[in-house]
Structure 1
Amino acid sequence: MMEIEVQTDLLQEAKESIEAAKSYKDELEQRLQGLNQARKQITESAVQTRDVLKNHFNDLKARLTKLLDERLVMLLQEVDKIEQESIKPLDDCQKLIEHGVNTAEELLREGEVAVCCGTAQEEKLGNFTKKALQIQLDSLPEVPSLVEVPCLSAQLDESLLSFVKDRIFSHGAIASRPPVQIDELTERPGGILVRWCKVDDDFVAQEYRLQFCKNSTCQFDDVYIGPDTEFVVLHIDPNVDYMFRVCARGEGRMEWSPWSIPQSGYTTLTAHEWITGCEGFSLSSRRDMALRNDSPSSGVLYSKEPTYTSGQTLTFRMEATGLPDKRDSIGVCVEPQNECDSLQRDKAVCISSNGAVFVNGKEMTNQLPCVSTGSSVTFDMEVVNLGSGFSDGASFKLRMIISSGNREVVFDWLLDQPCEALYFGCSFVYPGWKVLVF
């Protein structure tokens, strides 16, 4: 009996060792896969960097050659122009002198004939003498001296090569990793919150540039450029993979840094939508933006469904503002009440356009900044306790955090029954208010 138990224990131990060996093998194979991916990233990025360097320097050489050729042509044209402008007066002077020489030769021939005739041809001698006086043989044209005419030369700065050499040898750098990397991708309803951070402490970033694309297209598009280190990318289709990458511009620099390693992310949450058909509000095509129009109605515009749940962040961004009124409201509620003209009522939490916070219709002593164009109001909530035996008077408690600007209000909201999801809504007395929800 004892022998059987020993054999059973040995068999069990052997099976456990086999399972442990399988797990160990799987772990090693996963690490090998990770190692291969790391090696692939190094080799592929090296190949890509070589191509970028070659293309860049070949392009630089072509541009430099083109610039030098253009400058040479300009200088040669300048030489031609100076030569032509300087030669013209000399040509005019030469024509005048050559005309004088021809006139003098003709006069010489006439004089020699007249002299040969002697006194017998007194008339010819008189005509010759008169003609000689008319020609003004003592008047000679001015010929410029060599110092008075241009002497062309090329003025070339020999230090240019040294300057260019220094700039070339300091041009470009190789980075083993980008100075900025994506740190977190968090799904939002109809969007993804992208956070990034610097990984190079010596790099001083002036602004960042975020791009994204669908995995199926691989065509990256700019979605954000600015100083912030996070951004909510909206209009994301649910359950579709997107790629994100970020780069930075150093302080005082014009060029962008290398791109971060692309990160893949997706959202399973459908986008928040306002309900259609509410008089007093016009909606965008995606129904995530509402505009208070000129209609006299001043009721509350609610969400299509109760899509705001615990653990999420709900954001209202003011794209435009109208005249403020203390009855204005932006917030969340347990259920729609179409007969009410504001969320400043029971079973609702909201903020007015003047920054006042209302819980179940009662104004809190704490106040947030006034709502203005471009400002965002965010709601965060979490369940504090579900309670038990609600029929006995136990409460359902939600921890609410409302933020606007650089301030926030934190409080516990007591409800008389559990609530898995909330509606959101807004109301404005005057037209011109435009609010985006995400």
Structure 2
Amino acid sequence: MSVEVDALLQEAKESIEAAQNYRSELQQRLHGLNQARKQVRGSSGQAREALRKHFTELQVAAGRLLNERLAALLAEVDAIETDSIRPLDDCQSLIEHGVGQADELLREGEAALRSGLGEKEDKLGSFTKKALHIQLDSLPEVPALVDVPCVSAQLDDSLLGLLRERVSRHGSVSSHPPVQIEELQERPGSILVRWCKVDEDFAAADYRLQYRRCGSGGQYEDAYIGRDCEFLVLHLDPHTEHLFRVCARGEGRTEWSPWSIPQTGYTTLAPHEWHPGTEGYILSSRRNIAMRNDSSPSRCPVLYSNAPTYFCGQTLTFKISAAGQLDRRDSLGVCVEGESGPESLQRDQAVCISTSGAVFVNGKEMTNQLPAITVGSTVTFDMEVVNLFPISNNNLSDGGNFKLRVTIGSGNREVVFDWLVDQAVDCLYFACSFVHSGWKVLVF
């Protein structure tokens, strides 16, 4: 009987645990549902506010433009009227003056006719002279109506039709942004952001990526604008959350699309840093940029990373922002140990590429060669573990017991080879060495 009770108790406990898990899962889904409802409600409210604000601004701006145009046209009418009336006023003054002279002459003539015989001759003579002086046969010319302005306003009724057609297509509402962030991949001191189109009908010409630190309350800042669908955001502090968002601009358009739903990402990997205090090199404040500042033709000092921060499976990138004189001993690469003794990276337990494009594996030059390194060059190293088991004794003469597959890329070319090392490693030092000053390299 006790066995049956124990079995029932165990079954009850399992059912209770299952019910608790089931309730927890339902509560999580309910929370997700509430978040989804909050996003729909919140984004709808923001869209309404954006529409009202935009169209209110358009109404104000359109009213201002129409008032400005009306004022300009009225000013044109005023100017034409003023310029046209002035000569008519002058002509009217001349005619009115002539009418006054004629009235005065008529009065004198009538008075001369009414005068007595003794003075009639003198008055008639004086009147005749005055009449000749006034030139009664000379009349001012009055312009014909066809020769003076007849002001009119020409108004194109098609403007309203054009406005109606443009307004009917102005603005749009979408349930989803045309672009969404697809992946946030942590890198040393950085995050690789990848995005993709979710609206296949949207023809994107450019993308715009922004980010900001979580909890800072600051504004988003641009990280990238261009045609690529991924970008590595550098100079991020480890274990610090950042928000990322992306939008797009359509072909032939000037405005940007709505932003994607912000995604939170962070990196747990410490940033790549050069080792400070190496003679002949100066570093940037973040120690990710090194510059050769002291030439010594007899020496080729190697600058190592501060720690073995390059892990297999990642991509290590060197970018050359300034270049000096070439030397066959110049190199960029990775190594098992950050030794301070050797004055060359072209040695055992290291793989590197020289500035001439030659590739060295454990100090031996390969037959394959990459493009020469110059200003703007980007060199990448990718490695994966081929095996973690000792290779047979027949291969010990090759100089190693463990194998890594290495891919070095430079320009539009790459070489792939297997690198034998003496011990199993999952993290490596990176390094550079330059003979002459002027070289400047960024690592990420």
TM bin (shorter chain): over 0.9
2:242 maps to 1:235: no
- Cα shift readout 1:219-258 (whole Å, capped 9, x = no counterpart): 1011110111111111111111100000011111111111
Return the alpha-carbon distance in structure 2 between the equivalents of residues 62 and 390 of structure 1.
Answer: 83
Return the alpha-carbon distance in structure 1 between the equivalents of residues 310 and 269 of structure 2.
Answer: 10
Could you say which residue in structure 1 is the equivalent of 2:256?
256
Equivalent of residue 419 in structure 1, options 409, 425, 435:
425
In the TM superposition, 1:142-157 aligns within 5 A as 142-157=141-156
2:410 maps to 1:404: yes
Return the alpha-carbon distance in structure 2 between the equivalents of residues 98 and 433 of structure 1.
Answer: 94
Could you say which residue in structure 2 is the equivalent of 1:123?
122
Amino acid at match of 1:244: F
The range that moved more, 192-201 or 15-24, is 15-24
Return the alpha-carbon distance in structure 2 between the equivalents of residues 341 and 11 of structure 1.
Answer: 74
Return the alpha-carbon distance in structure 1 between the equivalents of residues 372 and 204 of structure 2.
Answer: 31
Is the contact between residue 329 and residue 352 of structure 1 (CA under 8 Å) also seen in structure 2? Answer: yes
Amino acid at match of 1:377: V
In the TM superposition, 1:16-35 aligns within 5 A as 16-35=14-33
Is the contact between residue 407 and residue 416 of structure 2 (CA under 8 Å) also seen in structure 1? Answer: yes
The range that moved more, 207-216 or 401-410, is 401-410
Is the contact between residue 391 and residue 401 of structure 2 (CA under 8 Å) also seen in structure 1? Answer: no
- Residue ranges of structure 2 left out of the alignment (5+ in a row): none
Residues 71/235 of structure 1: CA separation in 2 closer, same or farther (3 Å cut):
same
Equivalent of residue 330 in structure 2, options 316, 328, 337:
328
2:441 maps to 1:435: yes
Query: What secondary structure, in the 3-state scheme, does the structure 1 residue paired with 2:337 have?
Result: coil
Query: What secondary structure, in the 3-state scheme, does the structure 1 residue paired with 2:101 have?
Result: helix
Return the alpha-carbon distance in structure 2 between the equivalents of residues 388 and 28 of structure 1.
Answer: 51
Could you say which residue in structure 2 is the equivalent of 1:87?
85
Is the contact between residue 314 and residue 378 of structure 1 (CA under 8 Å) also seen in structure 2? Answer: yes
Could you say which residue in structure 2 is the equivalent of 1:192?
191
2:38 maps to 1:40: yes
Q: CA deviation at 1:118?
A: 5.2
| Pairs aligned (count) | 436
Residues 17/96 of structure 1: CA separation in 2 closer, same or farther (3 Å cut):
same
Could you say which residue in structure 2 is the equivalent of 1:75?
73
Is the contact between residue 207 and residue 227 of structure 1 (CA under 8 Å) also seen in structure 2? Answer: yes
Query: What secondary structure, in the 3-state scheme, does the structure 1 residue paired with 2:244 have?
Result: strand
Q: CA deviation at 1:391?
A: 11
Could you say which residue in structure 2 is the equivalent of 1:141?
140
In the TM superposition, 1:374-389 aligns within 5 A as 374-387=376-389
Return the alpha-carbon distance in structure 2 between the equivalents of residues 433 and 111 of structure 1.
Answer: 113
Return the alpha-carbon distance in structure 2 between the equivalents of residues 315 and 30 of structure 1.
Answer: 41
Query: What secondary structure, in the 3-state scheme, does the structure 2 residue paired with 1:132 have?
Result: helix
Return the alpha-carbon distance in structure 2 between the equivalents of residues 130 and 371 of structure 1.
Answer: 110
Could you say which residue in structure 1 is the equivalent of 2:170?
171
Q: CA deviation at 1:281?
A: 2.5
Return the alpha-carbon distance in structure 2 between the equivalents of residues 8 and 390 of structure 1.
Answer: 58
Is the contact between residue 368 and residue 415 of structure 2 (CA under 8 Å) also seen in structure 1? Answer: yes
- Cα shift readout 1:77-110 (whole Å, capped 9, x = no counterpart): 1111111111111111111111111222222222
Return the alpha-carbon distance in structure 2 between the equivalents of residues 129 and 357 of structure 1.
Answer: 123
Amino acid at match of 2:59: K
Query: What secondary structure, in the 3-state scheme, does the structure 1 residue paired with 2:55 have?
Result: helix
- Cα shift readout 1:155-211 (whole Å, capped 9, x = no counterpart): 000010011001000111111101111111111111111111111111111111000
Is the contact between residue 391 and residue 402 of structure 2 (CA under 8 Å) also seen in structure 1? Answer: no
Structure 2-normalised TM-score?
0.93
Return the alpha-carbon distance in structure 2 between the equivalents of residues 189 and 72 of structure 1.
Answer: 62
Amino acid at match of 1:331: G
How high is the sequence identity, in percent, across the aligned residues? Answer: 64
The range that moved more, 183-192 or 123-132, is 123-132
Q: CA deviation at 1:355?
A: 2.5
Could you say which residue in structure 1 is the equivalent of 2:102?
104
Return the alpha-carbon distance in structure 2 between the equivalents of residues 365 and 184 of structure 1.
Answer: 38
Return the alpha-carbon distance in structure 1 between the equivalents of residues 199 and 82 of structure 2.
Answer: 61
Is the contact between residue 185 and residue 265 of structure 1 (CA under 8 Å) also seen in structure 2? Answer: yes
Q: CA deviation at 1:287?
A: 1.4
Is the contact between residue 279 and residue 295 of structure 1 (CA under 8 Å) also seen in structure 2? Answer: no
- Cα shift readout 1:264-286 (whole Å, capped 9, x = no counterpart): 01111221111223333332221
Query: What secondary structure, in the 3-state scheme, does the structure 2 residue paired with 1:374 have?
Result: coil
Residues 257/116 of structure 1: CA separation in 2 closer, same or farther (3 Å cut):
same
Amino acid at match of 1:357: V
- Cα shift readout 1:387-427 (whole Å, capped 9, x = no counterpart): 35999967122222222333332222111123342211112
Query: What secondary structure, in the 3-state scheme, does the structure 2 residue paired with 1:137 have?
Result: coil
The range that moved more, 49-58 or 312-321, is 312-321
Is the contact between residue 191 and residue 235 of structure 1 (CA under 8 Å) also seen in structure 2? Answer: yes
- Residue ranges of structure 1 left out of the alignment (5+ in a row): none
Query: What secondary structure, in the 3-state scheme, does the structure 1 residue paired with 2:206 have?
Result: strand
- Cα shift readout 1:299-347 (whole Å, capped 9, x = no counterpart): 2222122221223221112223334443321111122344544322221
Q: CA deviation at 1:369?
A: 3.0
Amino acid at match of 1:88: R
The range that moved more, 414-423 or 79-88, is 414-423
The range that moved more, 111-120 or 157-166, is 111-120
Return the alpha-carbon distance in structure 1 between the equivalents of residues 344 and 87 of structure 2.
Answer: 93
Residues 103/282 of structure 1: CA separation in 2 closer, same or farther (3 Å cut):
farther
Q: CA deviation at 1:75?
A: 0.7
Return the alpha-carbon distance in structure 1 between the equivalents of residues 97 and 327 of structure 2.
Answer: 99
Query: What secondary structure, in the 3-state scheme, does the structure 2 residue paired with 1:248 have?
Result: strand
Q: CA deviation at 1:381?
A: 1.8
Return the alpha-carbon distance in structure 1 between the equivalents of residues 393 and 25 of structure 2.
Answer: 52
